[in-house]
Amino acid sequence: MKDWNQERDRIVDWLRERVQKAKAKGVVLGLSGGIDSSVAGALAKIAFPENTLGLMLPCHSLPLDQQDAELIAGKFAISYQIFSLDFIYDSYLALLGESYSKPLPLPLANIIPRIRMTVLYYFAQKENYLVCGATNKSELTVGYYTKYGDGGVDLMPLAHLTKTEVWQFAKFLEIPASIIEKAPSAGLWEDQTDEKEMGICYAVLDAFIQNGLGNQQDIAKIQKMIKRTEHKRQLPPRLERHS
C-alpha cells in the first residue's frame, strides 16, 4: 500500500524541479473531466498555486465531461479557460473530405487530441509554462494514447502509477466520487469507454503490469499491444551519418 501523503509530496517536488530546470514558471494542462486529468490538475495546483492553467477543450464532447471539468476547477481553485474545438475540427474534416459521425474512425478521432496539443503548446509558450500530461502507466504500457496528441507533453507526473493506483490516489486527494466512479473514457462519443476500445479491463491489465499475473490469453494480448505500440514510447529513429 502506497503512502499517498509521501507520493503527493514526491510528485509536487518533481514538478517544481522540472519546471525550474526548464526556467519556466508553471504548467498548463487539459482538464477533461476524467479521473487522470483531475488528479494531475490537483497536483499541479499544489505545486504551482499561482501558475497553473487548466484548458477545457471540448470537441463534440459530452456535456457531463464539461461539467466534471468545471467541478474539478472549482474544487481546487484552478484557473481555466474554455475553447470549443467543434468548428476547427469540422474544418479539418471538410478539408479531408470527411464528415463527423459516431463512432469516429481512429484516424479521424486522433485529430482531436492533436488539435488540443496545439492549443496547449500555444499557451505554454505564451505563458512560459510546461505542458503537463495525465497519461498513466497502464495507458503508457500498452500505448493507449495518441502519438503527438495526449502523448505530446513535457511532463508526465502519473506515468509511474497504474490506473488502479490513480483511482486510489484520487480518493486520497478527495476527487469527487462522481468522477472516480464513472467509466474511464476519452469522451469521443456516447458509450465510448477505454476498456471497450482496448478490449481488456484495467484490473486485468494492472495485475499483469504490477505482478505479471493473468491468464495466457490476456497476457498474450497485452504483450501484443506493448510490441505494436513500442514506437510511441521511443524517439523517432534516426539514420546516422555514414562515415
Residue linked to cell 476547477: 73
- Is position 163 annotated in a ligand binding site? yes
Q: Are 135 and 154 in contact (CB under 8 A)?
A: no
Residue 223, C-alpha cell as written in the block = 504483450
Q: According to the annotation, is 68 in a ligand binding site? A: no
Is 231 flagged in the annotation as binding? yes
36 appears as a binding residue in the annotation: yes
Is 243 annotated as belonging to a binding site? no
Residue 35 is assigned to a ligand binding site = yes
CB atoms within 10 A of CB 191: 10
Ligand-binding site membership of 30 (annotated):
yes
Q: Is 79 annotated as a binding residue?
A: no
Distance CA 60, CA 58 (A): 6
151 is annotated as contributing to ligand binding: no
Q: Is 37 marked within a binding site?
A: yes
**232 labeled binding residue:** yes
- DSSP letters along 135-188, please? --HHHHHHT-S-TTTTT--SB-TTTTS-HHHHHHHHHHTT--HHHHHSPP---S
Residues near 229 by beta carbon (within 8 Å), at least 6 away in sequence: 142, 143
34 is an annotated ligand-binding site residue: yes
Q: Pick out the residues of the known binding site for ATP.
A: 30-37, 163, 185
Q: Pick out the residues of the known binding site.
A: 30-37, 114, 139, 147, 154, 163, 185, 231-232
Q: Pick out the residues of the known binding site for Mg(2+).
A: 36, 139
Q: Pick out the residues of the known binding site for deamido-NAD(+).
A: 114, 147, 154, 231-232
